[in-house]
Structure 1
Amino acid sequence: FTLFVRSGQRHANAVSGVLIGLIVSMPPLLVGAVWMWEPAHYQPLGWLFFALAGIAGPAVGRVCFFHSIHLMGVARAVPLNSTMPLFSAIAGIYVLGEKPGLYILAGTVLIVLGCMGITARRGESQPIRGEYLLIALGSAVFFSISHMLRKLGVGVSPNPFLGISIMSIAGGVFLYISGQYLPRGLRPSLMVKKAWLTYSIGGLLNTLSVLLHLYGLHYGDLTIVIPLAATAPLWALLLTAIFLRKLERITWPILLGTVAVVVGGALVAGRAL
Structure 2
Amino acid sequence: MGTLVGMGLALSAAAVWAMAPVLYRRGIEKVSYTGLGALRCLGYIVSAALYALLTGGTSVLTPPSLSLLGVIWSSSIAWLVVGDLCYFGALHKLGVSIGVPVTSSFPIVALVMSHVFIGEPLGPSIVLSVLLTLGGLFLLNKAQGTDSPRELRMGLLLALATMVCWSVGVVTNKVLIGRMDVAKLELWRSIGVTLGSVAVFLLKNPREVLDLRELSYRDVLEMAVAGAMGLTIGNLLFSYSLRHISVALATCLACARPFLAALFATVVLREPLTLRKTLGIALVVGGVTVMSL
Q: Match of 2:80, as an amino acid? A: P
TM-score for both structures, normalised by structure 1: 0.76
Alignment of 1:1-273 (within 5 A): 1-37=20-56, 44=65, 47-107=69-129, 109-111=131-133, 113-114=135-136, 117=139, 121-129=143-151, 131-159=154-182, 161-182=183-204, 190-194=212-216, 195-207=219-231, 208-212=233-237, 231-237=256-262, 248-252=272-276, 254-255=278-279, 257-258=281-282, 260-261=283-284, 263-264=286-287, 266-270=289-293
State the secondary structure of the residue aligned to 1:180: helix
- Cα distance in 2, alignment partners of residues 148 and 218 from structure 1: 21
- Where does the alignment leave 5 or more consecutive residues of structure 2 unmatched? 1-19
1:53 touches 1:167 (CA, 8 Å); kept in 2?
Answer: no
- Cα distance in 1, alignment partners of residues 239 and 175 from structure 2: 11
Cα offset, 1:170, TM superposition: 0.5
- Where does the alignment leave 5 or more consecutive residues of structure 1 unmatched? none
RMSD after superposition = 4.0
Cα distance, 1:138–1:132 mapped onto 2, change above 3 Å: same
1:216 touches 1:225 (CA, 8 Å); kept in 2?
Answer: yes
What's the CA shift string for 1:145-188, capped at 9, x where partnerless?
A: 111111111111132x3222222211111222233332557879
Cα distance, 1:107–1:218 mapped onto 2, change above 3 Å: farther
1:75 touches 1:124 (CA, 8 Å); kept in 2?
Answer: no
- Cα distance in 1, alignment partners of residues 27 and 99 from structure 2: 16
**Which deviates the most, 14-23 or 130-139?**
130-139
TM-score for both structures, normalised by structure 2: 0.71
Q: Match of 1:174, as an amino acid? A: G
Task: Report how many residues are paired.
Answer: 266
- Cα distance in 1, alignment partners of residues 149 and 68 from structure 2: 43
1:107 touches 1:263 (CA, 8 Å); kept in 2?
Answer: yes
Counting aligned pairs with the same residue, the percent is 19
